Every structure is written in C-alpha cells, then in structure tokens.
Amino acid sequence: MIITIFFGRTQKYNTPPKIMDKPLIVVNFKTYESASGVSALELAKSMDNFSDRKFRLVAVTSAFDLSTIASQTNNLEVWSQHLDPVGKGSFTGWLEPSNAISSGASGTIINHAEHKVSIEHVKNLMAMLPDDFPICACAADVEEAIALAKLNPTFIAVEPPELIGGDISVTTADPTIVSDTVAAVKSTNSNVRVLCGAGVKNGQDVKMAIQLGAEGVLLASGVTKATDVNSVLDDLTS
C-alpha cells in the first residue's frame, strides 16, 4: 500500500480497481422537475442500465432523493450535491456529512457555480470526510482550480459559469480552459483528476473532453432534460 499525504489530506492506494481507471460521466440532477422525486429514481435507473460500459456513471442527486436512489440502483454511484462541514447538533438547514453517508452517498460535489462556498469551507469539509470518499470540487477557472488542487480533492471539475446550461459545450467554446486546467492542476497536485463541464450534451463532447486531457465530464440538462434519456445515455457512453 502507498500512503500519500498532500496538503493535509491522506490518500491510500491499493492496486486500484478497474472502475477507478474509467473516465467519469457525472450527471447533476440539480432540482429539475424531470430529475426530482419519482422522476429522479426513473432517471437513475436508466443510468444504472448503462453502468456496465467503459465509463463510470455517477448520479448527483438531491438530498431528498439520495437514499431512495442509492437503495434502488445496483451499480450506479450516488453523490450528494453539497455538504457542509458541520457535525451532529444545532445546525438547522445544513447538510451534515455522516448523515449523507449513512443515507447512501458515496461521494459529493462541492463549490458548484450555483452553490459557491469558500476555500475554508472545502478544506474543513474534506477534513471531516473519509479518505476514500470521492470529493469533486468545482472551479470556474484555472486560478480557482489551482487553489482547490492544493487541498487535494479527488476530482476538480472546471466549469465556466457562462456556459452552464447552454447549448455550446466548453470543449467547443473554450477548449483551452480545459487543457490549461488539466496542465495547471497536474503541475500543482498530480493526484487530482480533472473533469470538465458546462454545455456538455453528447458523446462527441465527451470524446473531445478526454482528448483535451480531462478524465470525464460533469453535465446536467443534457441528460436531465432530454426527451429520450436512454438514447442520450447510449450516445454518451458509447
């Protein structure tokens, strides 16, 4: 076993399972009507049907749906959309990490453009989480990605805010931010894997992201608002 300590976070590595080597397709359910409640479970089950392909599929769900989805899917990873660095006690409205984990969360995103937090928030949260609990910290640009990389999260997802939810993928509109972020993060902390997001819609966008050096994508409306979810998932994972 190799144990690496970097900027306060410990990462332990046995021989990594093959799934860890797969590129990721991370789908953020947000609070879309088409990805909430019963619809969230239906979408997650559709994703689960494609989880045996060459990509590692992750559903990032509402805290209200997390337990149901985690218990009723087989191979799909289920992450939280946000967590707070608080313990048990008087923390009304906060998302306490151990409760999320006991409910089935196997990872989390943090600092999404729609729910920004401070670097201190990310640092304190990471200190509370198990070393093998994946953390994907979102960054708006290269500078923020570098700052986050120093904390040693599992993943950093670069998403230019102006492209989120749009029809043009970051891989087309601003490919250099992807390649530049990969280079900057790897030079800062080679342990961190880089994802890209904003406007990602199809398999071609995924292929381009990987060609630019990313190890997967973070997307939302391209899946959650799709008319034919299975067709979109088939294309993304082909």
Instruction: Walk me through the domains of the chain, giving residue ranges and CATH numbers.
Output: 2-237 (3.20.20.70)
Q: What distance in Å separates the CA atoms of residue 30 and residue 79, rounded to the nearest whole number?
A: 12
Q: Which of 112, 115, 121, 215 is catalytic?
A: 112
Poorest-pLDDT segment among 17-26, 36-45, 197-206, 208-217: 17-26
Q: Specify the 3-state DSSP secondary structure of 216.
A: strand
Q: What distance in Å separates the CA atoms of residue 60 and residue 81, rounded to the nearest whole number?
A: 6
| 212 and 182 Cβ atoms separated by less than 8 Å | yes
Which class for 88: exposed (0-12), middle (13-18), buried (19 or more C-beta within 10 A)? exposed
Q: What distance in Å separates the CA atoms of residue 61 and residue 67, rounded to the nearest whole number?
A: 10
Q: Which of 77, 144, 159, 215 is catalytic?
A: 159
pLDDT at position 135 over 90: yes
How many other β-carbons are positioned within 10 Å of the β-carbon of residue 93?
A: 5
pLDDT at position 28 over 50: yes
Please give the pLDDT value at position 169: 83
Closest CA to 155 of 192, 127, 117: 192
pLDDT at position 138 over 90: yes
Please confirm, yes or no, whether 159 is among the known catalytic residues: yes
How many other β-carbons are positioned within 10 Å of the β-carbon of residue 32?
A: 17
Poorest-pLDDT segment among 7-11, 173-177, 192-196: 7-11
Q: What pLDDT digit, counting tens, does each position of 53-100 carry?
A: 999 999 999 999 999 999 999 999 999 999 999 999 999 999 999 999
Enumerate helices (H) and strands (E) in the chain, giving the number of each.
Answer: 11, 10
Please confirm, yes or no, whether 215 is among the known catalytic residues: no
Q: What distance in Å separates the CA atoms of residue 59 and residue 41, rounded to the nearest whole number?
A: 10
Please give the pLDDT value at position 20: 59
Please give the pLDDT value at position 21: 77
Please give the pLDDT value at position 155: 98
| Average pLDDT across the chain, whole number | 91
Q: What distance in Å separates the CA atoms of residue 94 and residue 234, rounded to the nearest whole number?
A: 36
Question: What is the DSSP secondary structure assignment for residue 16, as one 8-state letter?
Answer: P
pLDDT at position 120 over 50: yes
Q: 4 or 210: whose pLDDT is higher?
A: 210
Percent of the chain residues past pLDDT 70, beyond the cut: 92
